[in-house]
Amino acid sequence: MALLVVYSCCLFLAQAAYATAFSEGNLEWCSHQCTCLNNYRTVDCARRMLDHVPSLSNLTVNLYLDNNRIERIAPETFQTLGNLMMLNMEKNAIRTAAASYFCSLQNLQILNLGSNKLEAFLIPDNLTADCKLPSLKQLILSNNRLSALPPNLPNFTPSLKLLNVSFNTIRSVSFNGSFSMLMSLRVLDLRGNQIHQIMADDFAGLKAIPLNTLSLSECGIVHIEPEAFHEMTELASLSLSRNLIGYNTLEAIFTAIGNDSQLVQLDLSEMFLQNVTASLLGMLKRLSILDIFESSVHYVEPGLFDLLPELESLNVGHNELHELENVGALKQLRWLNAEWNHLTELDLTDLDALQSIDVSGNQLKMLPGGWLGAKENLQLLNVSHNMITSIHPEAFAGLSLQQLDLSHNWLSTLNDTGLQRLRKLNLSHNRLSVITPQLFTNVADTLEDVDLSHNNISNFQQAPFKDFISLQELNLAYNRLGRALGEGLLCDIFSSMGHLQQVDLSANEIVQISAGQWQHLHHVNTVALSYNHIKRLGDASVIELTAVARLVMDYNDLSAVDVDVLDKMDYLEEADFGNNPFACTPCVALPFLRWLNHSTVRILGKADRQRYQCYMPPEFAGQYLLDYHPTIPDADCKPHRERHRSQLDWTMIAVAVAGVVVFIILVTVLFFYTQICQKIKSLHYRWQIRYREVSGVEFTNDPKV
């Protein structure tokens, strides 16, 4: 029994010693220049200014050496790292690499040597069996100086799936028969090279393998022989963007591919294609993604869409289209981008699968009723940067949009949209002056982000923001709400926005925000009041913002920052008071300067001399505020403050006394006026009686008198 206890104790101590030996803080196993994680399986030596590869444990599986200054790899560098599976050495200064450097890495799966200065990747003809990387799946040699593909690559990496040699100086491609050994190769990236011509037999070695993705964009290609891609039966994604290939050449290429093409994704962006016709692309019947972005397209043949029944994504943005007809034939279309063309109308009624529509930057003047149909799947609609002046009440009927962008149009009024689950609404840069409650009838409880900036709104009537229980961001910048906020006319505007986190009231001609405007914003953390005319923090009632963490008040009329207000804002983390006319007088600037020295609040742009400088008095104009060091003792400022406070108190007393005196005078005048009027009435009455008596004696005709 005692032996068993001793054995258990020894085993426990051995395990503890093993764990200690492999702890992250033990420098015996981890270089002090790196960070070791997961029991030394992951070693992070990135961004350490290294000029060599440090000594590492043979337990290393993932090694990060990127963003350093390594210029060469010694043949013995990785000999002890037999368990390495991922090696990242991108963004160094390596000039030469050879297969012999990596022979010991039999388990390596990913090798990244991108963004170096490699001029060659040497693989000898007589490569031995023990100097191959049978497990390597990804080889990244992008952004180097290679002038040719690595020779004998199939012998060195027989299981390669991805080869990235983009953005080198390769002038010609010749995939000879040896590349037919790469039966696992699926992705070949040749972007950004200098391949001006592609001959029919350049891809001969690739036609026997199931290559799936081929990128030839940005290569300056002017000519491709029609048979170049013929018999590449598994090719699903082809990118030819940013080249100078003519229409006739492209037509011949796709005709040679034939109706049996497996192409699912085709990128013809940033080329010069004036027309997109059925004879150009009609044979690619399995296309799912077609990208013709910014290709100077003037005309898309309507009949083309009848030949592409499986198209799900169409990008014809930034072209010269005046019309886009027969889009309704694309029954599977889910993403449509037709931004920045010259479209005046667009019929999308039959596209029930649509999820995202972008027709911004066109010439739409109105949105008619039913132009979208009843699309339950549509989530995003962008019709910004058009000339829309009116929207039919049924324009969005039956939709379940989550994002609607109507910004940069000519809308002056907008009523109920009929939407029910909207989360983000952008109405900025319009001509709205009135926001009616009907606008938010069905979406008040779902809206999370509302942008009404850059309009002409001066007031809100009938509480349009009622029951906004989900709203988190409200942008009202560049309107005319200053007078309403100063007079307390918007006390109820935030009453139901208990979850609001960001509010922007910049450029609203605000001089003062009366007390009580912020009282319902218990969770707001960011308030922007830039480009207004606020002279003191107290004038903006910011002390009511009990949870605010970021306060932006640059470009106002602040001559000083009231630190008494800032000290009461317990959660304030960032503030911006730049570009204000600061007064550099001792008793005005001294409290704020002292506050800056001890406060943990981060002042945005504090080091920018142009943003924080003195404006007055004239002798300090242009001086950096933090360079102003008043020598006046604080005791000398106390009488100034007391005198100011005393003057303020006497002023208030004088005003109160004057009010009492005026009141007494008014009461006295009223009293005397009442008494005198009574006496005058009495005298007048007596005079009338006497007059009647006298006149009765003198003028009676009674003979008895």
Mean pLDDT of the chain: 85
- Give residue 675's pLDDT band: very low, low, confident or very high (50, 70, 90): low
Give yes or no for a contact between 241 and 270, defined as CB atoms under 8 angstroms apart.
Answer: yes
Judge contact between 58 and 39, C-beta under 8 A: no
Tokens of 339: 């931004």
Bridge partners, 162 (sequence order): 138, 187
pLDDT band at 638 (very low <50, low <70, confident <90, very high): low
- Helix H or strand E segment including 36: strand 35-37
* Three-class SS of 59-124: CCCEEECCCCCCCCCCCCCCCCCCCCCEEECCCCCCCEEEHHHHCCCCCCCEEECCCCCCCEEECC
Q: Which residue has the higher pLDDT, 504 or 611?
A: 504
Phi first, then psi, for residue 90 (nearest 5°) are -70, 160
Q: How confident is the model at residue 307 (pLDDT cuts 50, 70, 90)?
A: very high
**What's the pLDDT score for residue 426?**
96
Query: What's the average model confidence in pLDDT over 105-112?
Result: 95
- Per-residue confidence (pLDDT) for residue 654, from 0 to 100: 64
What residue has token string 């598994």? 234
CA distances from 628 to 500, 558, 592, 618, 632 (A): 39, 17, 11, 14, 12
Distance, in Å, from the CA atom of 472 to the CA atom of 83, rounded to the nearest integer, reads 50
Nearest CA among 518, 439, 423 for reference residue 473: 423
Q: What percent of the chain has pLDDT over 70?
A: 87
Inter-axis angle of helices 634-699 and 586-598, nearest 10: 130
This prediction's pTM: 0.80
Does the pLDDT value for residue 20 go beyond 60?
no
pLDDT, mean of residues 359-375:
91
Mean pLDDT in residue range 54-77: 92
Torsion from C-alpha of 554, 556, 558, 563, nearest 10 degrees: -40
Residue with tokens 């018999």: 231
User: What is residue 692's three-state secondary structure?
Assistant: helix
* Residue 330 reports pLDDT greater than 90: yes
CB 194 within 8 Å of CB 171: yes
- Residue 653 CA to residue 655 CA, distance in Å, equals 5
**What is the SS3 assignment for 528?**
strand
The Cα 113–Cα 552 span in angstroms is: 45
Q: Is 424 helix (H, G, I), strand (E, B) or coil?
A: strand
Q: What is the pLDDT of residues 445-466, one digit of tens each?
A: 889 999 999 999 988 876 677 7
CB atoms near residue 20 (< 10 Å):
10
Distance CA 175, CA 195 (A): 13
Structure-derived torsion over alpha carbons of residues 411, 416, 417, 422, reported in degrees to the nearest 10: 110
Distance CA 569, CA 548 (A): 8
What per-residue confidence (pLDDT) applies to 496? 78
**Phi, psi (degrees; rounded to nearest 5) at 665:** -60, -45
Mean pLDDT of all residues in 332-354: 94
**Per-residue model confidence (pLDDT) at position 7:** 43
Q: What span, in angstroms and rounded, lies between the C-alpha atoms of 114 and 165?
A: 9
Confidence band for 592, pLDDT divided at 50, 70 and 90: confident
Confidence of residue 698 (pLDDT cuts 50, 70, 90): very low
**Are β-strands 473-475 and 502-504 bridged in parallel, bridged antiparallel, or unpaired?**
parallel
Distance of CA 265 to CAs 165, 242, 285, 301, 311, Å?
Answer: 21, 16, 11, 20, 9
Mean pLDDT throughout 492-505?
Answer: 85
Q: With CA atoms as reference, report the closest residue to 417 among 450, 449, 442, 448.
A: 442
Using the predicted structure, report yes or no on whether residue 414 has a pLDDT greater than 60. yes
Contacts 24+ apart (CB under 8 A), 637-644: 637/586, 637/587, 637/590, 640/587, 641/587
Calpha distance 531→632 (Å, rounded): 33
For residue 25, the model assigns a pLDDT of 38
> Tens digits of per-residue pLDDT, 532-579?
999 999 999 888 888 899 999 999 999 999 988 998 888 899 999 999
- Note the pLDDT of residue 595: 87
- The pLDDT confidence band at residue 677, using thresholds 50, 70 and 90, is low
pLDDT at 623: 84
**Is residue 161 very low, low, confident or very high in pLDDT (cuts 50, 70, 90)?**
very high
The dihedral built from the CA positions of residue 404, 410, 416 and 417, taken in this order, carries a sign that is negative
Binning pLDDT at 50, 70 and 90, where does residue 700 land? very low
- What is the assigned CATH class of domain 32-149? alpha beta
| Domain boundaries of the chain, sorted by first residue | 32-149, 635-661
- pLDDT number for residue 671: 64
Q: Which of 155-164, 294-303, 497-506, 607-616 has the lowest mean pLDDT?
A: 607-616
**Looking at residue 574, what is its pLDDT?**
93
Question: Which pLDDT band holds residue 129 (cuts at 50, 70, 90)?
Answer: confident
Nearest to 391, CA basis, from 367, 424, 426: 367
Question: Does the bond joining 617 to the residue before it have cis omega, within 30 degrees of 0?
Answer: yes
Q: What is the structure's pLDDT at 479?
A: 95
Average pLDDT of span 325-340? 96
- Find the helix or strand (DSSP H, E) in which 164 lies: strand 162-164
Grade residue 657 by pLDDT with cuts at 50, 70 and 90.
Answer: confident
Given this model, what pLDDT does residue 673 score? 63
pLDDT at position 247: 94
Report residue 651: phi and psi, to 5°: -65, -45
Per the CB < 8 A criterion, the answer to whether 195 and 166 are in contact is no
pLDDT at 696: 43
- Mean pLDDT of the region 251-264: 89
